[in-house]
Each structure stands twice: as structure tokens, then as C-alpha cells.
């Protein structure tokens, strides 16, 4: 291995390894995180590939990636069990052998001691065996080390598949080394949230502005069901120049769209709504039935959500709707739990109960059973109440249970957005 090798450009291919990814048992969140992290550091991802725990598949994927990209990042297949074969495949590819590494073993014993585990069996010990032709990077968050290969002007790094371990290794160990190897211009991005424009209408309205963008800038349209997220990317110049170009063009976009822009600088709708709630000084509470707390979980993904989100009540049972939210029994009997009237009563009740400015409630039939001719599966009522008024909407979603819940959550956020700009 030649440690002086330096790739000529910052393009990366990502390979994730694991049967559980291929068969759909888990979502490949590692690739999304790695791609985003690389992008923020000025690297561009050319391709993302997922392969099973199969020697031939791994070998072919590695060979193909190194044939087209100067930097290849692998995750997965480094555990202590027989199906974890990544390092064996890398030994075959780089024509080397496994050797025992004392630093990796010492790190493993230290982690075991901290966890109250004293016995290291042969399966665990095997994780201290690493390809001889690599640079070993000790993983301080787990037992599987990072292995770094360099050959013919290219770099391949194999990382553990456990997300928290992979993230730590990328941030603390791998990225500093990559930045030391490769120098180039950064990639900067700005996010703009727009309401009130269908995608095609928005594209037409700002087409002359978009056509006049300098070559260093690129605009992407990212529809989010009822709202639009715009991403403006700047690259191929020094950072000071890129910042200046971004700010100049954003000023023109703000002038063009005015109040249709409701948030900037954040990637998710819940973060965008958080910006507005903080600006207006409003507190929010939830009453959820069919969504089972999913709206609250979505809102609390946003950092700082405790500033505006007080909490919620999950009231599946009618008894809880009565006792905790003050929904009249007669209303439940005459209109049914899944109704406009009950959703509105729940929204008003949770606002009073939790002493918030705004209460939002959802009641519906997520499925797959429980529907009727009058109220089929997918029927959902969403209501919002403040001190003076109550808004409500009826939806008839056509998805499966999880899809109906996901759409309900999104529409609850859209109702909140609409309310904030009434």
C-alpha cells in the first residue's frame, strides 16, 4: 500500500452490505446519512449500491466501484458471525491475509469491561483480525474496526454498519483523513420553503430568475405534498465567492416570492413550522387517536421543539376522550368517535387541558379494518383550535395502514401551516 497516494477528485461511491437491506428488513439509512455528510464536506456521490452478504456480489461491487470512482466507502458485514464476510472478501480482492491486531483487541476488551461483559469468545476475538494490507482505524464506539485501503490512486474504506458507530467513525476519523488527502472547493446549499404554488406554476413564475442563475448555482424542486422545498446548491468556486453568489440570488428570490416563503435554512417541514411557531411565540398541544403519537414524534424530530411543543394526549379509548379531553359522551354516541365534531372537541379540549395556544386533534380509521360504507378505511378528521375558532378537515386516504397514518401526520402539519398564515 502506498500512503502517498492522493485521489485527483472528490467523487465517492457508497456500498452498503447486508441481506437485511436487500430483503427490506431495514431501511438503508446509512447511505442517506453518508451522502448528506459527504456533500456538506465538499464531496459528490456518484453512485449508491446495496449488495447482499454474498462474496461474489461484494467482490463485483467493489471492483466496479473502484473502476469508476476514486473513493469508495463500504458499510456492513463486519460483525462476529459467519454471515459477516466483508473483510474476507476484501482480503481476496486486495490479495492479502488476515492478521491479529492488538489495538483492536484491546479496544474490544475495554468496551466489554465497560458493559460488564468479561468473556470474549472466538467469534468476538475474530473481529480483531484485519487485512494485513490495510491501515487500521480503531472504532472507539464498537468492536468492528475501520479498514483503509489505498491502491493505484484510489481509496477504499470499510466501516461498521451500525449507524451510530459508522457516524462516529465518519466524523472523527475518516473525514479528517479524506480532507487531508483531497483538496477542492466546498459545496454549499440553501433551503427555501414555499407555500401556495403548485410545482409547475412555481417553476413558470421564477423561470427567468432560474435561467439567469450563474453556472456555479443549481436549483432543485423538492415537492412535499402541498408545499414546495427549493434547494439552491453552489459549487466549483471558493467559499467566499459561493456565499456571495448565494446571498445575491436568494435576495432576488425573496423579492420575487415575498410572503410565499415561510421558512429558510432547514430541510424538514417540522423544522420549518418550528421557525414560524417560535417567531410568533405560540405553544402547541396534540390530541391523537388514529395516529398513536406519530404527529408528536414528527414534531419532536426538530431540534428545539420543546420551545413550542408542550406535549400530547393519545386517546384511543372513548373513555379517555371524555375524561382527559372533555369530549361529551352524547357527542360520541350521536356522531361517533370518527367525526368532525369529535375531532373539534378533542382539539379544544387538549388546548385547555395543556394550556396551549393551539390544539390539534386527529381521529380516524387507519385500517386495515374498522371502516363502513359511511366512513371507509382511510377516513380521517383533523381539527385545530385556538381560543377563538376551530378549523377542521376531512380526508379519505387510499393507502394501507402505515400510509394512511403517514398522510394524516403530514396533513396535520399542513393544517397548522395554513392556520399560521390565515
CATH number 3.40.50.10860 given to 188-264: no
Distance CA 151, CA 3 (A): 9
DSSP SS3 for 148 = strand
Q: Where are the domains of the chain?
A: 11-181, 188-264, 269-420
Distance CA 307, CA 319 (A): 31
Per-residue pLDDT tens for 11-42? Answer: 899 999 998 888 888 889 999 999 989 988 88
Whether this model's pTM surpasses 0.85? no
Domain spanning 11-181 has what CATH number? 3.40.980.10
Which residues fall within 8 angstroms of residue 237, CB to CB, at 6 or more apart?
Answer: 185, 216, 245
* pLDDT (0 to 100) of residue 318: 95
Distance CA 93, CA 88 (A): 9
What class has domain 269-420? Answer: alpha beta
Q: C-alpha dihedral over 402, 403, 404, 410, to 10 degrees?
A: 110
Per-residue pLDDT tens for 165-192? Answer: 999 999 999 999 998 888 656 788 999 9
- Low-confidence residues of the chain, pLDDT below 50? 1-5
Q: Calculate the CA 46 to chain-centre distance.
A: 20
* pLDDT (0 to 100) of residue 246: 95
Residue corresponding to grid cell 469491561 = 113
Q: How many CA atoms lie within 13 A of 28 on its CB side?
A: 22
* pLDDT (0 to 100) of residue 66: 94
* pLDDT (0 to 100) of residue 352: 97
* pLDDT (0 to 100) of residue 184: 59
C-alpha cell recorded at residue 42: 465538499
DSSP character string of 345-374: HHHHHHHHHHT-SEEEEEEE--SSS---SS
Distances (CA, A) of 406 to 262, 273, 294, 362, 394: 23, 17, 8, 12, 15
Question: What's the angle, vertex CA 165, arms to CA 64 and CA 181, rounded to 5?
Answer: 55
* pLDDT (0 to 100) of residue 6: 52
* pLDDT (0 to 100) of residue 374: 92
Amino acid at each position: 500500500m502506498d500512503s502517498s497516494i492522493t485521489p485527483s477528485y472528490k467523487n465517492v461511491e457508497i456500498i452498503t452490505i447486508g441481506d437485511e437491506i436487500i430483503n427490506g428488513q431495514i431501511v438503508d439509512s446509512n447511505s442517506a446519512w453518508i451522502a448528506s455528510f459527504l456533500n456538506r464536506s465538499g464531496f459528490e456521490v456518484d453512485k449508491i449500491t446495496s449488495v447482499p452478504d454474498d462474496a461474489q456480489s461484494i467482490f463485483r461491487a467493489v471492483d466496479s466501484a473502484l473502476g469508476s470512482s476514486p473513493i469508495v466507502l463500504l458499510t456492513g458485514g463486519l460483525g462476529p458471525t459467519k454471515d459477516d464476510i466483508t473483510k474476507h472478501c476484501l482480503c481476496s480482492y486486495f490479495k492479502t491475509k488476515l492478521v491479529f491486531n492488538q489495538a483492536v483487541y484491546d479496544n474490544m476488551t475495554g468496551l466489554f469491561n465497560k458493559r460488564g461483559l468479561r468473556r470474549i469468545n472466538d467469534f468476538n476475538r475474530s473481529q480483531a483480525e484485519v487485512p494485513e494490507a490495510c491501515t487500521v482505524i480503531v472504532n472507539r464506539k464498537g468492536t468492528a474496526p475501520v479498514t483503509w485501503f489505498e491502491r493505484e490512486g484510489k481509496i477504499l474504506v470499510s466501516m461498521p454498519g451500525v449507524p451510530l458507530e459508522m457516524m462516529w467513525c465518519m466524523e472523527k476519523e475518516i473525514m479528517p483523513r479524506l480532507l487531508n488527502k483531497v483538496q477542492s472547493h466546498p459545496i454549499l446549499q440553501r433551503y427555501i420553503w414555499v407555500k401556495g404554488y403548485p410545482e409547475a406554476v412555481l417553476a413558470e413564475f421564477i423561470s427567468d430568475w432560474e435561467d439567469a442563475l450563474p453556472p456555479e448555482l443549481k436549483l432543485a424542486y423538492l415537492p412535499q405534498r402541498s408545499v414546495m422545498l427549493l434547494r439552491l446548491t453552489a459549487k466549483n468556486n471558493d467559499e467566499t465567492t459561493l456565499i456571495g453568489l448565494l446571498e445575491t440570488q436568494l435576495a432576488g428570490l425573496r423579492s420575487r416570492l415575498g410572503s410565499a416563503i415561510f421558512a429558510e435554512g432547514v430541510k424538514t417541514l417540522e423544522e420549518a413550522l418550528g421557525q414560524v411557531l417560535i417567531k410568533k411565540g405560540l405553544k402547541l398541544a396534540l390530541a391523537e387517536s388514529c395516529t398513536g403519537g406519530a404527529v408528536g414524534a414528527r414534531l419532536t424530530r426538530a431540534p428545539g421543539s420543546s420551545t413550542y411543543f408542550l406535549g400530547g394526549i393519545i386517546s384511543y379509548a372513548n373513555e379517555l376522550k371524555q375524561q382527559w379531553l372533555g369530549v361529551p359522551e352524547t357527542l360520541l354516541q350521536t356522531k361517533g368517535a370518527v367525526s368532525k365534531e369529535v375531532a373539534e372537541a378533542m382539539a379544544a379540549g387538549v388546548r385547555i387541558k395543556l394550556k396551549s395556544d393551539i390544539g390539534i386533534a386527529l381521529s380516524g380509521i387507519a385500517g386495515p379494518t374498522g371502516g363502513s360504507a359511511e366512513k371507509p378505511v382511510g377516513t380521517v378528521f383533523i381539527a385545530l383550535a385556538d381560543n377563538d375558532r376551530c378549523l377542521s378537515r376531512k380526508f379519505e386516504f387510499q393507502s394501507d395502514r402505515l400510509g394512511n397514518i403517514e398522510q394524516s401526520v403530514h396533513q396535520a402539519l399542513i393544517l397548522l401551516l395554513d392556520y399560521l398564515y390565515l
